[in-house]
Amino acid sequence: MRPVIYVNGRFMTQPLSGVQRFAIEICHALARVSSAQGRPAPLILLPDAQITEQDAPNLPRRTVGRRHGQIWEQCELPLAARHGVLINLGNTAPLWGRRQIVIIHDAGVFGHPESYSWKFRLWYRFLHFFLCRTRTRLVTVSEFSRAELSRYLRIPASRITVIGEGADHIARVTPDTTILARHDLKSQRFVLAVGNLAPHKNLTRLDALARALSLRGIPLVISGSVNNAVFNSNGTQVLPKPATYVGRVSDAELRALYDAAACFVFPSLYEGFGLPPLEAMACGCPVVTADIPVLHEVCADAALYADPTDPEDISRSVVRILDTPALAQELRAAGTMRAASFTWDRAAQALLQIAQDITA
């Protein structure tokens, strides 16, 4: 009988961001992949609080412990998972876990400390240094992140396994087009940006683009919010104007925005993977993205690249797509093909194999 594989469910009680999106989708995929195997290993989600049916990944679950958050994760979770393998999906894990995997998505707290609160930086740096000096299996989502973590944590890159991410989830969502009417947006007549207000997301450098689009009567639409417990932010007063701010949106609304946008722009200075450009590609939206290594790794030749430190270069790249229908169509086709090569089932299969190797 194979040992039980437990999944740290702390992400289910956290605000939705890229890490939580990863955790939700990989859990759905783990359930699909495991059930398709001839002898699936038991998979059980362990959340730190009761969660509703509609929010829960498609895994058996058992609520454990009486505490919440970090105290629960460090004290009660390892006790509940002591007889199996524990998969930790969101950068953190018990310090004293026996057989466990932790997915560290990026090295942002080292490379871009200005984007995070000092408490968050201190805890993450200590935790990651400690975990990488135990028998915990380290996993990340891109070759770029593996190199970064190897450098900052001072461990061989071979200690870290890369599993990637997926974009196929967005194709399964039925678009909610009411968001377009609510904000008076017309199909193929706006440019979309998605990101929280953390400094490394670099939304402030869309100011030149916002002005250029305004002269054409085309709105720049920005979706996203900020978790001030994690990120440092100076607030919306420093963000580009004029722009249409739609705040945090549902998956169905986001799908409608991707489908209808003439172009998606992603000026981020730092990512561990860079899921939004891939989501846009999966929806057939042409992409302008930051000219940084990880986004070349993810987007390859299916996007147009711009210097994220040069607002004029970002603006010129977006306008080029708007003014060149043939280029836009070429990017739509290339983007759709590129996004299809990233699936959650493939990532889940790689993660499940690591867990099964531990139990062998």
Write the pLDDT tens digit of every residue in 16-55. Answer: 788 889 999 999 999 888 877 665 668 899 988 666 554 5
- For residue 36, the domain's CATH number is 3.40.50.2000
Residue 339: per-residue pLDDT: 97
Q: Is the pLDDT of residue 230 over 80?
A: no
Joined together, the tokens standing for residue 180 give 């377009």
User: Three-state DSSP class for 231?
Assistant: strand
Query: Predicted confidence band at 233 (pLDDT cuts at 50, 70, 90)?
Result: very low
Residue 360: per-residue pLDDT: 67
Residue 41: per-residue pLDDT: 67
Q: Is the pLDDT of residue 226 over 60?
A: no
Q: Please indicate, yes or no, whether residues 192 and 312 belong to a single structural domain of this protein.
A: yes
Residue 60: per-residue pLDDT: 85
The whole domain housing 310 covers 170-340
Query: Predicted confidence band at 342 (pLDDT cuts at 50, 70, 90)?
Result: very high
Residue 2 or residue 221, greater confidence: 221
Q: Please indicate, yes or no, whether residues 247 and 328 belong to a single structural domain of this protein.
A: yes
- Is omega for the bond preceding 293 within 30 degrees of 0, making it cis? no
CA dihedral of 15, 17, 20, 22, whole degrees rounded to 10: 170
CB atoms within 10 A of CB 323: 10
Q: Please indicate, yes or no, whether residues 236 and 106 belong to a single structural domain of this protein.
A: no
For 150-164, how does the pLDDT look when each residue is reduced to its tens digit (9 = 90+)?
A: 999 999 999 999 999
Q: What is the DSSP letter of 55?
A: G
Q: How many domains does the chain have?
A: 2
Q: Please indicate, yes or no, whether residues 267 and 288 belong to a single structural domain of this protein.
A: yes
Rounded Cα gap, residues 141 and 133, in angstroms: 20
Q: Are 271 and 289 in contact (CB under 8 A)?
A: no
CA dihedral of 73, 62, 249, 253, whole degrees rounded to 10: 150
Query: Predicted confidence band at 290 (pLDDT cuts at 50, 70, 90)?
Result: very high
User: Three-state DSSP class for 272?
Assistant: coil
For 163-191, how does the pLDDT look when each residue is reduced to its tens digit (9 = 90+)?
A: 999 999 999 999 999 999 999 999 899 99
Q: Please indicate, yes or no, whether residues 194 and 326 belong to a single structural domain of this protein.
A: yes
Q: Is the pLDDT of residue 338 over 60?
A: yes
Query: Predicted confidence band at 67 (pLDDT cuts at 50, 70, 90)?
Result: confident
For 76-118, how does the pLDDT look when each residue is reduced to its tens digit (9 = 90+)?
A: 999 999 989 999 999 999 998 889 999 999 999 998 888 888 8
Q: Helix 275-282 and helix 18-36: axis angle, to 10°?
A: 60
Q: Please indicate, yes or no, whether residues 161 and 96 belong to a single structural domain of this protein.
A: yes
Residue 319: per-residue pLDDT: 97
Q: Please indicate, yes or no, whether residues 65 and 192 belong to a single structural domain of this protein.
A: no
Amino acid residing at 347: A
Q: Please indicate, yes or no, whether residues 152 and 34 belong to a single structural domain of this protein.
A: yes
The mean per-residue pLDDT over the stretch 277-302 comes to 97
Residue 359: per-residue pLDDT: 75
Residue 51: per-residue pLDDT: 62
- On whether the pTM is more than 0.85, the answer is yes
Q: Please indicate, yes or no, whether residues 208 and 332 belong to a single structural domain of this protein.
A: yes
Q: Please indicate, yes or no, whether residues 277 and 215 belong to a single structural domain of this protein.
A: yes
Percent of the chain predicted with pLDDT > 70: 92
Q: Is the pLDDT of residue 235 over 60?
A: no
Rounded Cα gap, residues 277 and 8, in angstroms: 28
Q: Please indicate, yes or no, whether residues 14 and 162 belong to a single structural domain of this protein.
A: yes
Q: Is the pLDDT of residue 228 over 50?
A: no
Rounded Cα gap, residues 97 and 86, in angstroms: 8
Q: Please indicate, yes or no, whether residues 224 and 253 belong to a single structural domain of this protein.
A: yes
Amino acid residing at 173: V
